[in-house]
Structure 1
Amino acid sequence: MHNRWFVRGALTLALADILLIALGVRAGFPKLMVWLPAVGGPVLAVAAFRGAAALTEGALRTFWRRVSYGMGAVAAAAVSQTVDVGTTEYSGMPPIGARTLLLYVIGTILAISAMLRLPGGGRSWRQLTTAVLDVAVVAVAAGIASSQYVGWFIDRFGVTASAWWLNIAMMAIAVAGVVVVVKIMAASRSPVPRAALWWLAPVGLCGPLSTVLMSVLSPWPHLNGSAAVLPFVGLFGVLAARAQVRHLGVLPRSRRAAASRRGTAIPLVATGLTSLLLVTVFVRTGHLTVVQVGGTTLLLLLVVARQAVALAENAALLDTVANQAMHDDLTGLANRRFFADAVAGARTVVLIDLKEFRALNDGLGPDVGDALLVAYGARLSALARSADERAVVARLGGDEFGVLLSAEPDAGQGDFAGRLLAAADEPLQAAGHEVLVDVFVGVAEGDFADLYRRAELALRAAVASGGRLVRYDASLERRLSRRATIAADLRRALTAGEFHMLYQPIVELPHGRMVAVESLIRWTRSDGTVVPPADFVPVAEDTGLIVELGAWIIDTVCAQAAAWRRAHGPDALRSVAVNVSARQLLDPGLPDLVAAALARHGVPASQLTVEITETAVFGGGRALATVTALSELGVAIALDDFGTGHSSLGLLRTCPVDAIKVDKSFVDGLGGTPQQEAIVTALTGIAETMGLRTVAEGVETAAQARRLYELGYRHAQGFLFARPLPAGEIDAMLDRLHLAA
């Protein structure tokens, strides 16, 4: 806010100065009046510089402090010149004492020192050569202009000692302006914003301009050339400080942009102004001096050399940009664009996706994630070059990589995918961490125009199936086409009512009495075609429709549980189980949805069991929070297919589990060796100790049922007792149980 007031004050003083000069050529007034804005302008600039220094730090703060010292000397010189004018009678050139000239020179030297000590940053040799030539062009142009200025000064003010001292002071101020311009051209990464430097540049013109105005205003003794320019010195200084303050918090331009826009116009403008000056001199005098002719020749040679170097620099820059456009910034590998263009010459396309990279990146941090990508890119390059020296290795985006192999399969690349999988067993070094990274791999081989698309299909199939390696074949295309068809039909099927629920009994051992049921969704199209759950459930999860489908399942199961309670009593079934996917657990609204369904149908929460997989909650986070919220509703939680996912006994402590369902693969080992029965035996002991119910899944023989009972299992489920049944058949079984009781 204070910076804005500085600008308004400096602008007011500059306008007042113009008004005083306009009035002074028509009427006289006290000669000290014009010095009020002349002193006020530099004083405001000093205050603005100090304010900019207070808001910055490091090299910026040092720079603005140094510039404020220089402007402070100029302000003191203005006060000193005011005293000279007020205490001396004069006609012609206004008096300027030695003290005043010394203060102007000191201020100029301090300003030049601040500029020269401002860091400028590094650059390439071409950029440095261009900058040197730019400086030379400006210096020669300034020299030609100075020679003309000196000649005019001598003709007008003579060669007295005071005139020479005045000329030295004014030339020093002009040099300060040239130094600012040179600094702007030479600095590739100056901490001071360019706008601030450009506002400081015109200050250098104010010195010579003041002597010109001295001559122009000499008929009016109450006016003064120095007083006429000093308010503008202050205004330019205040505007420079304002540019610095406004720049704070703004991201700097890219180095490349700064280099390319560094100002090819500066030497051209300097050359153009010099040419205009020489034309004016020639028109007025009819000749040019030796200095002017020689300087002009040198100037033209410098401009030609500068443009030649600039063209070479631009060509190198274009090569760099073209290279960067085809390569990944992080790893230095080829990027997707280059990869897609190079596929035409490949015999084999291999696409790789890093397993669980997002979890690693979130857990270890983005710096480690970036280091891991670089390390894997180096590993992949080494493997690919060993298989094919002409191999193209690319990072296609995120954690996806690609390899193009051009040699025939029997020339060494046939086992490339196998070596790629084997390498995943070796840890990578990433920012001080040893990380094991497994991969999904999709491979397409042959002489086909669409190898890239085929490899993408193979990779997609590998990710979807959880397998490590998938090679493209025609059956894959058919499966993916079927998957796409299922995805397109899912929502229509839900709207059309093509889904229905089956219920598989859970029995109590040893007598086999039904005590609970597990609900299972089925899809039968209107034409009678049955779509297996293994086909449509993963697609529903991938498309996100599982959330809407899951809401329908929960409502349908709660409605059916309420119907059984009304028909057979509240104790007919202890529990009705419903499966909930990992994607549903990421929905924070799931607990409210379950609570609403239970309340709508009048089913107590204790009669509903939510079955989840270990993998869904292994990582904790939002999924585990959702399970905890469901448990707090009073809903029972069961771990389904226990032992086949990310099995961890610690999960039984952190997750609010009420029951574990032992997977069929362990039940199949019953009756074999002790090693085969070990897990089933151990689980029942752990569950009993922790107060958990156990349910053995996939029981198909009476021998398995007997052995489970001997091991302590009291609940089982499987084809031995019943296959999944419609709700009506569960009703019939409940009726028979009631009659038997």
Structure 2
Amino acid sequence: MARTGPHRAGARLTAIAMLAVVAEVLLIPLGTYVAFSKLLVWVPATAALAVAVAAARTAAAGTDGPLRTFWRRTSTGIAAVLLAALSQIADITTHPYTGIPPVSARTLLCYVAGTSLVIAGLLRLPGGGSSWRQLTTAVLDVAVVAVTAGIAASQYMGWFNDRFGVSASAWWMNIAVLAIAVAGVVVVIKIMAARRSPVPRAALWWLAPLGLVGPLSTVLMTLLKPWPHLNGSAAVLPLVGLFATLAARAQWRQAPGRGTRARQPVDLPGHQRGSAIPLVAAGLTSVLVAIVFVRTGHLGAAQVAGTTLLLLLVVARQAVALAENSTLLDSVAHQAMHDELTGLYSRRYFTAAVAAATGTHTVVLIDLKEFRSINDGLGPAAGDALLVAFAGRLTALAGHHAVVARLGGDEFGVLVAGATDLTSRLVAANAEPLDAAGHDVLVEVSVGVAEGALDLYRQAEIALREAAAGTGGGLVRYDASLEQRLTRRATIAADLRRALHTGELYLLYQPIVELPHGRPIAVESLIRWRQPDGRIVSPADFIPVAEDTGLIVELGAWIIDTACAQAAAWRQRHGADALRSVAVNVSARQLLDPALPDVVAAALARHGVPAAQLTIEITETAVFAGGRALATVHALSRLGVSIALDDFGTGHSSLGLLRTCPVDAIKVDKSFVDGLGGTPQQEAIAIALTGIAETMGLRTVAEGVETAEQARRLFELGYRQAQGFHFARPLPAADIDAMLPDGGAAASRRRDRAA
């Protein structure tokens, strides 16, 4: 609502000002054919000025500081011009005339006062600091405009004296006209000289043409002399009101509501501050001098001297501009080779430095683990602060002779001559948290290292990729075996993409049973891959590849659809009560896909499976930092599907996660089940987890049960659901069918219950 009031009022004021200009434009030519009251042409003029006063006051009311002062002075100046127009109406109604309409000293004084107030407001605007080159350029621009205005003024003075003579009234009129012209020149100068301005540039440019109003009014006075009921001042004053209103409108558009009072000044880059204006001024002056020479056959001393000075100023200005452009090019080159956020070298510089290195060097590539989760959870400002802090730590550890670069995102690179112990020092330093906008963050890194003389960057990238995949505890040094692994991963990725469309993938289902009797009540879907030659590819080999390549999103959608189709088939054959749920595992990468809830909803609808019969299993690590992944889990929960935390107790374990994440079940990791039957300390976590789950109303599933003794002890501790090889290995769907009750018997039981 803050935007509605001022913008509607501004639109109305702008429309009224435009109507006043249109009315004046129609009245002037009409008056050359039809005589009417001398006051009629003044109605649009005074109306437009009154609108401009209201518009400027509205702009002042929506700002503060220098902006409010400027718009208040502008409104007062326009009000003085309105008073001058009313005074001029009194002049023409009380003093009879047959030629040029009379203009009293009182009227001229009001015009000059109004103009002076606008100039004062402009001069008081802050302009921001500048370099010496920018200041020199601004001074030369001002000089060019001033000389151009002087040449035009000298020509205007000659024309004015020919038309109006050198009487006292003509002298005062000339002063008023030149004062108005000076106002326009001041506006142009202010735009060029100001490096930073709180006033929108559009507003200043709308005020600039007002300098032409004075000279234009005197020209129109001579042209309209045969028609005493018309007036040159009245003809141009509606334009004053319209331009001032449009300037105020530019201010409203920048400040959409009163909440923008503290808006910072807007940068006016040097190359945008009017670098073409000196050339335009020189061109206009050349045209003016040419016209004078053609009409008179000679040039006066003022025109010759002014033109010569103008050309010298333009040449000097362009020389300074070239020097400034050279500095700008150096700055651009520096920015191209440096990272804007951290100040480190850029990827372009780093790769060039590695390629140019001779002799033995070490390239270290570093990737921050879980940076995306930190950035999503704490916000972009904290993410940027973390990158800057890590860049400072890395620079200090690498030393002055190393090339340290930010390669993009959360990846960094270091080039060091010879061997280095940087990696060990970095790991030790990362035990201390970094400050990220007020948050203490412990940084885990993946590090790839390559030593030698050739192809170091590519080798370090291969090592980093292995480190990021979890190989080597986060630190991998390049060796030839990595090439073989890389080739194998590339082959797996290509084959997996093919397998998605050729039916090589299939699902197995591991039962989840009810204790103590072991009756299957649910199943977990597990992906398997049999290649055309019959060889089985382990999920441990192809799932990480799917994660790295992004194929996990398409693969996950296939798993969800296939599991829902099988759940529908079991419901049809064995009844709705045969299995409580079918579970599918969803990776961290899938949770970052905002389309995942739609994929699940579409699969459920396509196969007619109730949402409650599908369980989505996620890991603690995937949602620990919150952000987009946690938002996706909430969206899935709103669909009605169950959410289970898989491998609970082994990831970023936090009991607070059970409150922030919409969890329905926890699956206790096998490592805690293995401790059953041992010491009380070994059983403590398993006992605590089932107590917490019961208190919070969550289901608990014990994973990895391999013996009857473990199953018995779990039941004694309060566990009612379990899963593991003791009960069944992952099985084809047909084997699960054999474990479920007969569909006809299930239907008969339902009919009996209904009866």
Q: Same fold (TM over 0.5)?
A: yes
* SS of aligned partner of 1:333: coil
Matched with 2:367 is 353
Alignment of 1:8-47 (within 5 A): 8-20=18-30, 22-23=32-33, 31-47=38-54
Corresponding residue number in structure 2 for 1:739 = none
**Correspondence 1:422 to 2:436:** no
Quick check: 153-162 or 395-404, which moved more? 153-162
**Cα deviation 1:179-205 (Å, max 9, x = unaligned):** 122112112232333333233223222
Displacement of 1:117 in angstroms is 2.0
CA 1:187–1:688 in 2, change beyond 3 Å: closer, same or farther?
A: closer
2:395 maps to 1:362: no
Cα distance in 2, alignment partners of residues 507 and 212 from structure 1:
100
Q: Aligned with 2:528: secondary structure?
A: strand
Aligned to 2:485: 479
Cα deviation code 1:265-306 (max 9, x no counterpart): 222233333344344445555555544444344333322221
Structure 2: any 5+ residue segments left out of the alignment? 1-10, 742-755
Find the counterpart in structure 1 of residue 745 from structure 2. none
Q: Give the counterpart of 1:396 among 407, 410, 416.
A: 407
Amino acid at match of 1:464: A
RMSD: 4.4
Q: Deviations over 1:31-85 (max 9, x none)?
A: 5555445544434443443454456555444433322222222222222222222
Counterpart pick for 1:328 among 320, 339, 343: 339
CA 1:507/1:678 → structure 2, altered by over 3 Å: closer, same or farther?
A: farther
Larger Rg: 1
Structure 1 unaligned regions, length at least 5: 736-741
Q: Residues 269-288 of structure 1 correspond to what in structure 2 (within 5 A)? A: 269-285=280-296, 288=299
Partner of 2:751: none
Partner of 1:547: 556
Match of 1:373? Answer: 387
**Which amino acid in 2 is paired with 1:272?**
G
Alignment match of 1:159 (pick from 159, 163, 166): 166
| Aligned-partner SS, 2:108 | helix
For 2:241 and 2:606, locate their aligned partners in 1 and report how far apart those are by CA, in whole Å: 75
Residue 154 of structure 2 corresponds to which residue in structure 1?
A: 147
Q: Deviations over 1:367-393 (max 9, x none)?
A: 22211111111111112226xx0x222
Which residue in 2 is equivalent to 1:342?
A: 353
Match of 1:108 among 109, 115, 120: 115
Quote the Cα distance in structure 2 between the aligned partners of 1:734 and 1:604: 19
Q: Normalising to structure 1: TM-score of the pair?
A: 0.81
**Alignment partners' CA distance in 2, 1:293 and 1:521:** 90
Map 1:388-537 → 2, pairs under 5 A: 389=401, 391-405=402-416, 407-409=417-419, 413=420, 415-449=421-455, 451-465=456-470, 467-490=473-496, 492-501=498-507, 520-537=526-543
CA 1:666/1:54 → structure 2, altered by over 3 Å: closer, same or farther? closer
Comparing 86-95 with 215-224, which one deviates more in the overlay?
Answer: 215-224
Q: Which residue of the partner structure matches residue 585 of structure 2?
A: 580
Structure 2 CA distance for partners of 1:728 and 1:344, relative to 1, 3 Å: same
Shift of 1:468: 1.3
Q: Which residue of 2 aligns with 1:738?
A: none
Q: 1:353 to 1:95 in 2, by over 3 A?
A: same
Whole-angstrom distance in 1 between the partners of 2:240 and 2:460: 68
Report deviation, 1:2.
0.8
> Is the partner of 2:443 in helix, strand or coil?
coil
CA distance in 2, matches of 1:211, 1:564: 99
Query: Separation in 2 of the partners of 1:360 and 1:689?
Result: 28
- Equivalent residue, structure 1, for 2:145: 138
Structure 1 residues 239 and 478, CA gap change in structure 2 (3 angstroms): same
Aligned to 1:308: 319
Q: Which string of whole-angstrom CA distances, capped at 9 and with x for unpartnered residues, describes residues 676-731 of structure 1? A: x723354146536855766462648x998999899999998766787656677789
Q: 1:211 to 1:603 in 2, by over 3 A?
A: closer
Q: Which is worse superposed, 724-733 or 433-442?
A: 724-733
3-state SS of 2:399 partner: helix
For residue 354 of structure 1, report the CA deviation from its aligned partner: 1.3
Distance 1:91 1:408, change over 3 A: same
- Who is 1:679 aligned against? 682
- Counterpart of 1:145, as a letter, is A
Q: What amino acid does structure 1 have at the position aligned with 2:480?
A: A
Distance, in Å, in 2 between the alignment partners of 1:154 and 1:505 is 107
Indicate conservation of the 8 Å contact 1:694/1:713, yes or no: yes
Question: Structure 2 residue aligned with 1:49, among 56, 59, 78?
Answer: 56
Distance in 1 of aligned mates of 2:410 and 2:502: 40
Amino acid at match of 1:190: S
Aligned to 1:68: 75
Is the contact between residue 562 and residue 603 of structure 1 (CA under 8 Å) also seen in structure 2?
A: no
Q: Partners in 2 of 1:517 and 1:729 — Cα distance?
A: 12
The 8 Å contact of residues 197 and 266 in structure 2, kept in 1 or not, is answered as no
Aligned partner of 2:690: which letter? A
CA distance in 2, matches of 1:38, 1:507: 90
Checking the alignment, whether the CA contact within 8 Å between 2:180 and 2:213 is kept in structure 1 is: yes
- 8 Å contact kept, 1:14–1:235: no
Pair 1:12–1:256, CA change in 2 (3 A):
closer
Q: Which amino acid aligns with 1:423?
A: A
Aligned pairs for 1:218-233 (under 5 A) are 218=225, 221-233=228-240
- Contact 1:585/1:627, CA 8 A, preserved across alignment: no
Percent identity over paired residues: 61
Contact 2:604–2:611, Cα closer than 8 Å, also in 1:
no
State the AA in 1 paired with 2:354.
Answer: V
- Tell me whether 1:199 sits opposite 2:187 in the alignment: no
Q: Distance in 2 between matches of 1:472 and 1:705?
A: 46
Post-superposition shift, 1:330? 1.5
Q: 2:653 aligns with which of 647, 650, 655?
A: 647
2-side partners of 1:93 and 1:425: how far apart?
Answer: 89
Amino acid at match of 1:261: Q
Matched, 1:210 2:211: no
> Does the 8 A contact of 1:502 with 1:724 survive in 2?
yes
Q: 1:296 to 1:429 in 2, by over 3 A?
A: same
* Contact 2:198–2:264 under 8 Å retained in 1: no
Give, in whole Å, the separation in 1 of the partners of 2:533 and 2:167: 113
| TM-score, structure 2 normalization | 0.80
**Equivalent residue for 2:96?**
89
Is the CA contact (8 Å cut-off) linking 1:193 and 1:247 kept in structure 2?
A: yes
CA contact (8 A) 2:363 2:451 kept: yes
Change (3 A) 1:465 1:101: same
Q: How far is 1:617 from its partner?
A: 5.5
CA distance in 2, matches of 1:576, 1:100: 91
Find the residue that maps to 1:334 and give its secondary structure. Answer: coil
CA shift for structure 1 position 438: 1.1
Tell me the SS of whatever aligns to 1:440: strand
Range with bigger deviation, 589-598 or 551-560: 589-598
